[in-house]
Amino acid sequence: MDIEKYIVDKKNIIDKTLDKYLPKSSLKPQVIHRAMRYSVFPGGKRIRPIFTIAGFEACGGKGDSAMPVACGIELIHSYTLIHDDLPCMDNDDFRRGKQACHKKFGEDIALLAGDGLLTLAFQVIAESGNIDIIKEISKAIGTCGVIGGQVADIMAQSSRFKVQRKHIEYINLNKTAVLFEVAAKSGGIIKDASKKEINALGNFGRNIGVTFQLLDDLKDKDGYVNLYGEKRTKEKAEKLASAAKNHLKIFGKKANRLLELANLICA
Ligand code: GRG
């Protein structure tokens, strides 16, 4: 199966499972469930849950036992996007080509829809029965992870803090890369893989996550590009992508899907 077909297949199963987990729009109080579903469907690329599944497969995993965690991670990603678009954060009116959640439902409901998705994520992840995963994911998205990255980004954008080079690396790592890291790593934890394999998946995810952010900066002429310029940003992205792929060597052919996904991100 080629990688495009693999992605379509995985996206379909992820969407079906998310639909199963999300409360129906007809369930009271309807407005919050409509807002949550509005932000999850139609989805974006679903990269993070696909990383979880492909990480699971790289460790020899088969079947659908990675699905609760994969979908939980996508619910978390959806929550960060809703909150990031709010007027008190990035103040974006549009997301994925349609009105941002707060433009459609109001700030109050959008804030709570984000909270609802985050809470539902942990209910779903708990279905995996794996306490280690709950710990890892909590750590990754907490104040020393994604939230910390968002705080640093806010500080960098205001006059409260002068942006330093080290600071931008902290932002890219925490705001974006740690969720990729924990997504890939979780696949190995679910399969009960060796420490070496789990670490390799985490290192792969973190490096490709920073690459992903640098490529986004290049597209928006923002972030890292502001400090280092396009040439150096491109060089850094290439170096990180290559480091990411090197971490997959220990899996041999079993990591081909992750390798192909990394190549697609960098294409
Ligand atoms: C609100 C706690 C909190 C955190 C927000 C992830 C994040 C932190 C903000 C999102 C805004 C942003 C532009 C982040 C950079 C990473 C990025 C390009 C995210 C978009 O991810 P994609 O491209 O989105 O995977 P899709 O639409 O495909 O799901």
Give pLDDT, residue 159.
62
Ligand 1, atom nearest to 175 Cα: 8
- Please check the confidence at residue 39 and state whether its pLDDT lies above 80: yes
Q: Which residue has the tokens 């080509």?
A: 97
- Pocket mutation for ligand 1, best pick of 38, 52, 216 (most atoms within 8 Å of C-beta): 216
Q: How far apart are CA 50 and CA 53, in angstroms?
A: 5
176 lines ligand 1 (CB under 6 A): yes
Give pLDDT, residue 128.
87
Cα-to-centroid distance, 63 and ligand 1 (Å): 29
The string of pLDDT tens digits covering residues 191-241 is 999 999 999 999 999 999 999 999 999 999 988 898 889 999 999 999 999
Cα-to-centroid distance, 194 and ligand 1 (Å): 30
Domains delineated in the chain:
3-266 (1.10.600.10)
Cβ-Cβ contacts under 8 Å for 157 (sequence gap 6 or more): none
In sequence order, the β-bridge partners of residue 95 are: 98
DSSP string, 128-183: T--HHHHHHHHHHHSTTTHHHHHHHHHHHHSTTS---HHHHHHHIIIIIIHHHHHH
Cα-to-centroid distance, 84 and ligand 1 (Å): 8
Give pLDDT, residue 161.
56
Cα-to-centroid distance, 85 and ligand 1 (Å): 10
Give pLDDT, residue 1.
78
Question: 10 Å Cβ neighbour count for 115?
Answer: 15
